[in-house]
Chains A and B, each alone.
Chain A
């Protein structure tokens, strides 16, 4: 008897292990996991230790190229670029992460309700979504920051809210499909409650789409946060958020390109890594994919 329970649990673990194997088989995705882990580590260390004070101005060392003393060079005020990248990592990555979390949570919740319950509520939510979707995400984020004002929390809000309509539409459409699945109808025939069916039968079957989409949006949101920083609408000035770094250095783009390229490379690398990670997760978490891969 307890042997049977053990086998049920073993099968559950085996399924997780299988997902991990599928994920690892995608080399690019697996490698980007390391890239992102390294960046997260860098952000963590940057909070406690940087080689130089990232805010200390040393005009005698201004615009220095890569050197042993300054591995990533210095900017036009002589601030150490490596220290600034390390300091800025937790802003760029942290803000993007918080924004995606906000967008995914609010958007998915509204999408689920809208799709499952339908009716007037659905109509209201969808028309509002239509209005928001009419603007490109970046424009929406710019409009929101100009209303909310400059500040770290406001960047999170702006970038987060800007992605909400996309999540609403995505999750609603999936919910509409899933709520007519026979296993959902069977649940209704069993007298299971609406919220129970939503959380037990619908959400688990679309959560992987939310996760995958969120990793893609991490990439996009990093770009949005950077773009806001570049435009001077993002993180306020002395803070070396990566996009702000590029924006502040734009005068030197032709004369001392490394001042722009260094944060640019980090932004691109992070965005690319999240995209590749998303591809890997999609393959690993899709149950249909798992069967397909096992057959071949």
Chain B
């Protein structure tokens, strides 16, 4: 279980804004993260916290400006061999835009099946397409349909089937259920859970809904303003947050959570500008624990328990309170 398959080191990603690109928005700022085989690691944070950017970098869809990402023995960042590229797949948030509106489900799946390097005989492609649809709870009846004839949940199932066609090891799920209705959400999450059990998939699960995170993930990485605030096993993070920001997230969550937050941190302020972030700890302007040191020094991620890392100098105080 604890074999590391994706290793990100000091990842930095900047986006240039403005006419001359003089403004730089640092979406991800020096992130270290490891992904273990067969686990689900959730990236959690507000919009603009860099979780989507980080997710894309971790599966090699975006190139970091600095730092390295490796998947097993391959470095991500350049062109990958086809069979390696195939093992890192994605499922996106917006099911309406995930499927090419001009292609039938048959064509969408056939393209993926052929891209995976599977046999190109028409019967075999058809067989495989049907078995993929059945895996995600659809049937051969969906093959002739165009995306606009499918419901949101069905579209997302087709998107998952397309990812599975590549026989991936890692699937980046970028808010896969945020755009869906409540009941459909539960069904898709359950499907993802079942597929993981059956195929030993590794998920990088991006979400801002903590109840989804609780349901699906083994580990959580809390992101704030392009940096990781805290990483650890889901259970522990939810029960005993060590970073004041995590506590604030848990306090302000509207979803039903397993633990009543022991520590309540009233949400104040807004997430900072990524173009000119505050000095020191980026959370200090909103943090009830902030001291002089927080305003001056950027806290490093440090270990506070088995598998638990936190970027806060007051973590012990937060845990005790």
Contacts and interface: CB of A to CB of B under 8 A. Distances in A.
Contacts of B98: 182-183, 186
A189 B85 contact: yes
B120 interface: no
Nearest to A14: B144
A255 interface: no
A43 B317 CA distance: 88
Given A4-B126, A11-B104, A183-B99, A191 B80 contact: yes
Interface in A279-296: 287-288, 290-291
A186 to B, nearest CB: 6
Interface string A198-216: 0011001100000000000
A53 interface: no
B194 interface: no
Contact of B115 (A10, A183, A192): A192
Contact of B143 (A8, A192, A204): A8
Contact of B123 (A1, A185, A187, A188): A1
Nearest to B115: A190
Contacts of A12: 104, 144
Q: How large is the interface on A (under 10, 10 to 19, 20 to 34, 35 or more residues)?
A: 20 to 34
Contacts of A187: 111
A215 B130 CA distance: 41
A153 B130 CA distance: 54
Contacts of A185: 61, 90, 92
B158 to A, nearest CB: 11
A4 B140 CA distance: 8
Given A181-B97, A189-B85, A287 B148 contact: yes
Interface string A3-26: 011011011100100000000000
**A10, A191, A291: residue with the most chain B Cβ atoms closer than 10 Å:** A191
Contacts of A15: 146
Contact of B92 (A4, A186, A188, A205): A186
A8 B102 contact: no
B213 interface: no
A189 B90 contact: yes
B101 interface: yes
Interface string B84-110: 011011101110011111101010000
Contacts of A205: 100-102
A191 B90 contact: no
B82 interface: yes
B192 interface: no
B144 A182 contact: no
Given A185-B90, A186-B89, A205-B100, 15 more contacts: A1-B123, A4-B140, A5-B126, A11-B104, A11-B146, A182-B93, A182-B94, A182-B97, A182-B98, A183-B97, A186-B163, A189-B166, A191-B80, A191-B85, A287-B146
12 contacts: A4-B144, A8-B106, A11-B145, A12-B144, A189-B88, A190-B116, A191-B80, A191-B115, A201-B100, A205-B100, A287-B102, A287-B146
